[in-house]
Copies of this chain bind each other. A is one copy, B any other.
């Protein structure tokens, strides 16, 4: 654990997700309050995602004692997958895993944030999160990555996107929520991002995706596809509450330049045309603990195509199916044009969205590089 320096002082910075990766960290799903019917559908979706990522990078999958049998059944034949034993509260590797930084000599290190289940006592989504909070440090130690300690600063991996060249995207709704770092000013929070992501500029989008229980993580709303270019979740429907949220983001992006002084090219990526809502029959499959945020039938889920994952050779894009089949195709066609160097793979992701996030939320990239 590196206690007396920061990534910034040591010349480390967070690379873009579109840069070459060593691998991807994931957690096998299990929590009954997130994944209905013993995570049956969720595990199928996770396994499909793991298979697709493992084509071009190593996938490290944390598995609990209880989850081991199903993980082995679905994954043991897949090359490039490494199962390892770890107990966690849930399966959001993006938010509980380390954030990785690298330097110009190809050395990779980890950053550990304080994790409080997206808001702690204020509006956190579960009552205890000790195992989740210990997970990043455990994984970094196991894999031999030196680690910077950013705690007690509270942050999740889904709350940030980096262009790899000094620019970080966040939302005010999330980073300024009283559940994270209520004693820090916006300027002090920005300073933390500079220090621990080696960043030079933070672009603050006001809002994220409507009804996103992470306080509107940026990774569901806006993402770099390369330096100078972003995709932004969009709708043309002025009656949708998403409309004003997306417009507010667009206004900021069009007025801003990045850390290198470039104007940003903004590509609109329309959200599914029909709201994706929890169904009565799905609701029966959940089993909620005391203190845990619950779901209701008809509740609108935070469906967005921006929640994709860049693997070394593909874009794993959430697909929602059903009445949104046309929307899925539109998103696929947009991403295919924007990312010609990767194969765009739509993955049926309703089962993951029912847990409260999507493909980007359950993955955490590990940049290619040396640990020493």
Q: Give A25 to B139 CA distance when docked, in angstroms.
A: 32
Contact at A56–B341, with CB atoms within 8 Å? no
The reply to whether B368 and A20 form a contact with Cβ atoms under 8 Å apart is yes
Q: How far is the CA of A186 from the CA of B55 in the complex (A)?
A: 35
Please give me the residue from chain B that is nearest to A228 by CB atom: B340
Please, which residues of chain B bring their CB within 8 A of the CB of A106? Answer: 54-57, 79-80, 313
Which residues of chain A in 212-230 are interfacial with respect to chain B, using CB atoms and an 8 Å cutoff?
Answer: 226-229
- Size category of the binding interface on chain A: 20 to 34
Task: Report if A164 contacts B (CB, 8 A).
Answer: yes
- Shortest C-beta distance, A224 to chain B (Å), equals 9
**A66 on interface, CB distance cutoff 8 Å:** no
B18–A20 CB distance below 8 A = no
A370 interfacial contact with B, CB 8 Å: yes
Interface assignment of A41: CB less than 8 Å from any CB of chain B: no
Main secondary structure of the interface of A (DSSP, over half): loop
Assuming A56-B368, A370-B79, is B341 touching A227 (CB within 8 A)? yes
**Beta-carbon contact of B20 and A21 below 8 Å:** yes
Interface residues of A in 340-371 (CB under 8 A from B): 340-341, 368-370
Q: How far is the CB of A88 from chain B (nearest CB, A)?
A: 27
- Whether the pair A20, B164 counts as a contact (CB closer than 8 A) is no
**Chain A 24-62 per-residue mask, 1 if CB under 8 angstroms from chain B, else 0:** 000000000000000000000000000000111100000
- Residues of B near A18 (CB, < 8 A) are 341
Provide 14 A-B residue pairs closer than 8 Å at the C-beta atoms, listed in order of the A residue: A16-B341, A19-B312, A19-B313, A19-B341, A20-B21, A20-B56, A20-B312, A57-B106, A79-B105, A79-B370, A80-B106, A227-B340, A228-B340, A312-B368
Known A165-B340, A312-B368; further 6 A-B contacts with Cβ < 8 A? A19-B313, A56-B106, A56-B369, A79-B106, A79-B370, A228-B340
